[in-house]
Amino acid sequence: MRILVLTVGTRGDVQPYVALAGGLKEAGHVVQICTCQVFEGFIRSHGIDYAPLNNDLRDFMESDEGRSAMETTTNLFQMVRAGIRLMPKLTDMMHRQVNEMWTAAEAFEPDLILFHKKAIGAEDFAERLGCRCALAFYLPLYVPTGESPAFGFPRLPLGRWYNRATYRLIEFISRRSGARFVGKWRRSQGMTAKRPAYFRHAGGSPVAALHAYSPSVIPRPCDWPDHATVTGYWFLDASTEFIPDPTLVKFLQQGPPPIYVGFGSIFGRDPRATAERVIEAVRLSGQRALLAAGWGGMDLNKFDLPETMLSIDAVPHDWLFPQVSAVVHHGGCGTTAAGLRAGRRTIICPFFGDQPFWGRVVQDLGVGPQPIPQRKLTPKRLANAISQTMEDREMEVRADQLGKPIRSESGVQNAVRFIDELSV
């Protein structure tokens, strides 16, 4: 099959799809990824074809207004309010995104479109091209179940009707917001204003849904339809040719396993102040620590760190995390998955979006403490969380036990098999 992958966002919204694309390519499929241009080199370095999309969303996230929004939208309702407030600035951006993704889809002529839900218009492109599409995502957000509410909603003791109602509300929000941006494109293509039923192809068949997380972390609901699956995580492991910095190797060897602290590609309003809080928290905890600047989460330049701390650049998590004692991070799905696979205790300090959700999941699994939102992050709070986590040996055992089934899963291969069945 010719398979087009549409995704947009941070590196965490791209890297899993590169792993999946690699698996699909090995299985004989022709694959192309369309996403922000900032990731073109990363995608092509893994031998995957690339189609361009503007960097508007990335640029917005790095703006002062974007950083502020990320630190103040910690639940679904705050996200909706922020979206309404920012709509005048986002409208033109989203229209450009729809048009550029359509350009990629029209040129590639796919048999199947795999899409991240932020890739608005994917279902409409499939309708126009006469091909199929499938959701490829890492949150239980769009396929209804009576067992639990949709991501972003509180767990209330109201039974299955409440849980299913939360997905109906997600459907309403998704349809309304998507129609706002894709309607103009549909008119330009001579298509009717009426879109296919929610998660249905134009012919009425269901849109399949692949969920890229481990069933050991979030089990597949028993009442899901057959066209919805939980595959396991889509890990993109480091090349066997990776050579670590000798300074890092020496630091790891000269004392007990350190903790890892890093906030990935998330940009808070003041990365310098975040770094100051983290350094003081680690000092108060008495732990050795690796501090990762990532792609802007912390500004570690010009700090005179003590011998118990080391600033590092980006290091593959699959190589590093098995060598640390615990991980402290923002709660992105990919970083959370890497920490859990390594069997490490996890402290999550979320900014926005799905990060508070993963923080709650980690806490519920008993492999990490209560999350600390970034807006409430203080040296004392973080130091207490680190100390309590490191003293909790039962938590250490639970984390180690959880890592074993995750390491034995083949998420990419499971996804490829499921996708292959779509062509039958």
pLDDT digits (tens, 9 = 90+) for 142-183: 999 999 998 878 889 899 999 999 999 988 888 887 888 898
For residues 399 and 340, is the Cβ–Cβ distance under 8 A? yes
Query: Are both 2-233+409-422 and 246-408 of the same fold?
Result: yes
Long-range interactions of 49-52: CB distance < 8 A, separation 24+: 51/4, 51/103, 51/104, 51/107, 51/108, 52/100, 52/104
Is the dihedral angle over the CA atoms 47, 51, 52, 58 positive or is it negative?
A: negative
Per-residue confidence (pLDDT) for residue 394, from 0 to 100 = 97
In the structure, what pLDDT confidence band is assigned to residue 88 with cuts at 50, 70 and 90? Answer: low
Q: Which is more confidently placed, 84 or 32?
A: 32
Per-residue confidence (pLDDT) for residue 424, from 0 to 100 = 56
Identify the helix (H) or strand (E) that includes residue 158.
none
- Over 70: is that where the pLDDT of 44 sits? yes
CATH of domain 246-408: 3.40.50.2000
User: Superfamily assignment of 2-233+409-422 in CATH?
Assistant: Glycogen Phosphorylase B; (3.40.50.2000)
Q: What is the distance between the alpha carbons of residues 85 and 60, in angstroms, rounded to a whole number?
A: 14
Closest CA to 197 of 212, 207, 187: 207
Q: List pLDDT tens digits, range 337-388.
A: 999 999 999 999 998 888 899 999 999 999 999 999 988 999 999 999 999 9
For the chain, give the mean pLDDT: 89
Which sequence spans correspond to the domains of the chain? Answer: 2-233+409-422, 246-408
Half-sphere exposure of 58 (CA within 13 A, CB side): 19
In the structure, what pLDDT confidence band is assigned to residue 296 with cuts at 50, 70 and 90? Answer: low
